Amino acid sequence: MKEMIINNVKISASIMCIDWLNAGDQLKILQEENIDYLHWDILDGVFAPDYILGSSIINQFRKVSNIPSDYHMMIEEPSRLFDTFEFSAKDTVTIHQECSKNLHRDLIKLRNKGVKVGVALCPATPLQTLDYIIEDIDQIIIMTVNPGYSGQPLVPQTIRKIYDMKKIIIDAKLDIQLSVDGNVSFENIPYMLDAGADILVGGTSSLFNKNMSLKNNINSIKTLIKDIKGNEI
């Protein structure tokens, strides 16, 4: 797999996992440590069994941070909520293939808002569902757990899925970032990177692991990236 690896792995902080009683301090650390994205998990309680991170909360965070946003909409028919968010040109907005009746139309709507666009796939969703829209997207999120709560175990077949998706992207010479989301732990990160991940969405199993400080967790992830992919980040 080494020949498929691309430099400049990015870290996206899953804000649903932040220490909410110390969110301001942790946001400052993310800024100081040059985290690449703030990852916003938007759940509607229908597609995924939880509710979290509505537009009012996200928009307030954005007023005090200039870190680009990585929106992950886990909601049925996401286009109905596009206008409630204050997107900027630095942002990426990803919607689920499983949630849009007309995926291409929804991606066009997002593109017209001036953002980068992405599609997320649940563990059991075949890669072939992207066949006729893959040229129109900037990011693919491979879910390595089923959408919902944090702290779930990795679905092991998804490591092979990352590899297969990366091969498709490279063979087609497409400029698409491959993101992985779900149990992105210190133990699993090496396998995800070796399979070809470009963006790591860090949650409770790494970035916001309570056994170490946030700063130490960030440094540990950066060390793993450097050791495996030779990045200077």
pLDDT tens-place string over residues 36-71: 999 999 998 888 877 777 888 898 888 889 999 999
User: For residue 224, is pLDDT > 50?
Assistant: yes
Q: Is the pLDDT of residue 229 over 80?
A: no
- What pLDDT sits at residue 123? 97
Look up the pTM and report it: 0.92
Write down the pLDDT at residue 4: 44
User: Which residue among the candidates 44, 91, 138, 181 is catalytic per the annotation?
Assistant: 181
As a whole number, mean pLDDT of residues 69-81 equals 95
Model confidence at 5, pLDDT cuts 50, 70, 90, reads very low
Q: Which of 41, 91, 138, 198 is catalytic?
A: 41
Question: What pLDDT is stored for residue 48 in this prediction?
Answer: 80
Contact indicator for 73, 39 with CB cutoff of 8 Å: no
Confidence of residue 7 (pLDDT cuts 50, 70, 90): low
* Predicted confidence (pLDDT) per residue in 184-206, tens digit: 999 999 999 999 999 999 999 99
Is residue 181 annotated as a catalytic residue, yes or no?
Answer: yes
Asked if pLDDT for residue 19 goes beyond 70, the answer is yes
- pLDDT score of 83: 93
What's the rounded Cα separation, in Å, for the pair 74 and 42?
6
pLDDT of 2 higher than 60: no
Question: How do the residues of the chain divide into helix, strand and coil, expressed in percent and rounded to 5?
Answer: 40, 20, 40
pLDDT of residue 149: 67
Q: Is the pLDDT of residue 231 over 80?
A: no
